[in-house]
Structure 1
């Protein structure tokens, strides 16, 4: 994350704060959350079921003391896994950024070590010339912002890329990169604001502990229009609902509070 652009959270979404105007722009990742993902429900249920089988004795011990705690242990299995993967992903991104900048990392974090050979192999194969890393793309035209992983020169072409450490590469990476590529401005760590550079291609570097793949990603206008559809959906979802449900006009409560109850409240 760029240190030059502050972010805040409102109503479950992240917003970037423009360093000069103070205007708020929703993050690209928050906008992408508008994309329908019906598979997540089955995945979440599967994680809970797997935890119930794998950690059966643990669940039984917890349930013997606190039934609700055992229910919560299973209910939040998917969130625990997601948090763990996000933490590892952040460490891998940090290592990747340092190596892109030409810095040596002699003792990488033990969770990063399995990813090191693939990252080093990619750097050796493509010899990328770093242009920007973890800077912010800001769209004044469509009011959104987001920090991108890297922009490099490869064989004379400007490539805007995203590093993924997830199990698979999903279509949303194309919307994400298209949003960055069609932004109006680039804001650096030192808060320098310049026009967003012309990008020749998009790409995703997918790295896991056992393999790495480098794939081109289409980021043209039709793909960007798909992102803008999600942007509009985000705006509609956050639109004010004031007045839809009015104030209480009448109510009835059962029972009558005693003086003791009133004094205790």
Structure 2
């Protein structure tokens, strides 16, 4: 079985490796990380505070033995939560893809079970005809790539969609889908390179254990233009900073002649 398009990580970002040319293209998600998200700082602080209150005794026991470890335990509370949610999201995506392909999943993972009724209800209502799932969109013109969740036919229209299991749907999903929709090529899991199909609409399927919503997402030129702005920011952020601030042309340091100063 093919492993699909290979990816690598450089300087904290993910890059796709073109199966023929070996050219590198930054991932759509890495480009979207250039977008300012001031709410994340407050959210991270809240997660640390909630962890301190909820796990007060645990934090105290860790601190009694290793104060730095206790600080790290609180500092990384948001990352631990994100990791758990990402793992569950991956399992839900796997189930959704299998069901889109018409496969039966008799014993879904227990973390997936709350999502199953919503997925089955959506499949029953829309009867989507699968075109592609988890394949790669590649833009040679604008130099980026990314894997999209699904492309299906619904009522004769080609719909490019994204499955979200987060608490809310954010504007970034529109930028993400617009980037995919404006790609030059589609690269299948078998590394076959095709022209990217014409997309009639973008959509997001938002599923939580409590509810599911299917929404249209704008993926036209205006939204794509906003994504390209972030693409330029990504390029600028990777430019070398060498030489911007030169060496000191003049220094003046206080004398440390005393014995006390020398020992400090």
Report the TM-score when normalising by structure 2. Answer: 0.92
Q: How many residues align?
A: 253
Unaligned runs of 5+ in 2: 257-264
Report the Cα distance in structure 2 between the residues aligned to 1:16 and 1:82, rounded to whole angstroms: 23
Name the structure 1 match of 2:42: 42
Name the structure 1 match of 2:259: none
Report the Cα distance in structure 1 between the residues aligned to 2:41 and 2:122, rounded to whole angstroms: 35
Report the Cα distance in structure 2 between the residues aligned to 1:14 and 1:33, rounded to whole angstroms: 11
Unaligned runs of 5+ in 1: 256-265
Name the structure 2 match of 1:58: 58
Name the structure 2 match of 1:16: 16
Name the structure 2 match of 1:132: 132
Report the Cα distance in structure 1 between the residues aligned to 2:190 and 2:110, rounded to whole angstroms: 31
Deviation of the 1:240 alpha carbon = 1.8
Report the Cα distance in structure 2 between the residues aligned to 1:250 and 1:35, rounded to whole angstroms: 38
Report the Cα distance in structure 1 between the residues aligned to 2:111 and 2:249, rounded to whole angstroms: 58
1:186 partnered with 2:177: no
Report the Cα distance in structure 1 between the residues aligned to 2:147 and 2:248, rounded to whole angstroms: 44
Name the structure 2 match of 1:209: 209
Deviation of the 1:241 alpha carbon = 1.9
Deviation of the 1:156 alpha carbon = 0.2
Report the Cα distance in structure 1 between the residues aligned to 2:70 and 2:169, rounded to whole angstroms: 33
Report the TM-score when normalising by structure 1. Answer: 0.92
1:96 partnered with 2:96: yes
Name the structure 2 match of 1:262: none
Question: 1:83-111 CA deviation, whole Å, 9 max, x = no partner?
Answer: 11001000000000000000000001111
Report the Cα distance in structure 2 between the residues aligned to 1:66 and 1:5, rounded to whole angstroms: 44
Report the Cα distance in structure 1 between the residues aligned to 2:238 and 2:151, rounded to whole angstroms: 32
Name the structure 1 match of 2:77: 77
Deviation of the 1:152 alpha carbon = 0.0
Name the structure 2 match of 1:25: 25
1:116 partnered with 2:116: yes
Report the Cα distance in structure 2 between the residues aligned to 1:178 and 1:240, rounded to whole angstroms: 29
Report the Cα distance in structure 1 between the residues aligned to 2:134 and 2:35, rounded to whole angstroms: 24
1:169 partnered with 2:175: no
Name the structure 1 match of 2:260: none
Name the structure 1 match of 2:224: 224
Deviation of the 1:53 alpha carbon = 0.5
Deviation of the 1:249 alpha carbon = 9.0
